[in-house]
Amino acid sequence: MANLIVRNIEKDIVDALKAQAGKNGRSAEAEHRQILKMALLAPKKRSFAEVLQDIPDVGNDSDFARVQDQAGSDQDVFD
C-alpha cells in the first residue's frame, strides 16, 4: 500500500475528523482512509436525467390524457 501525507489542514477540520473517528470507533487515520474510500470509490450517483432515460417506454401518451370533469371546470371540483 502507498502512503499519503496531507499537509496544512485547518485545525477545525482535524478536530472534526478526530470527533467523527471517535464516534465510529476508529483512529483518525482509519477514519481518513474510510472518507477517501467512500468519496473516491463509491458508486457514482446518477443524475435525474439518467434515471428518467432508464424508464421503460410503455403505454401511449393518450393513456395519460386528462379527462375533464362533467361540471366543465376544475374550479367546481375545489368548491
Is 23 within the bounds of a domain? Answer: yes
Number of structural domains (the chain) is 1
Q: In Å, how far are 12, 32, 76 from 19, measured between CA atoms?
A: 10, 12, 59
Q: How far apart are CA 53 and CA 37, in angstroms?
A: 29
Q: What letter would DSSP give residue 62?
A: G
At 19-60, the pLDDT tens digits run 999 999 999 999 999 999 999 998 888 999 999 999 988 888
Domain boundaries, position 17: 8-54
Provide the whole-model pTM: 0.57
Is 31 within the bounds of a domain? Answer: yes
Question: Does the pLDDT at position 76 exceed 80?
Answer: no
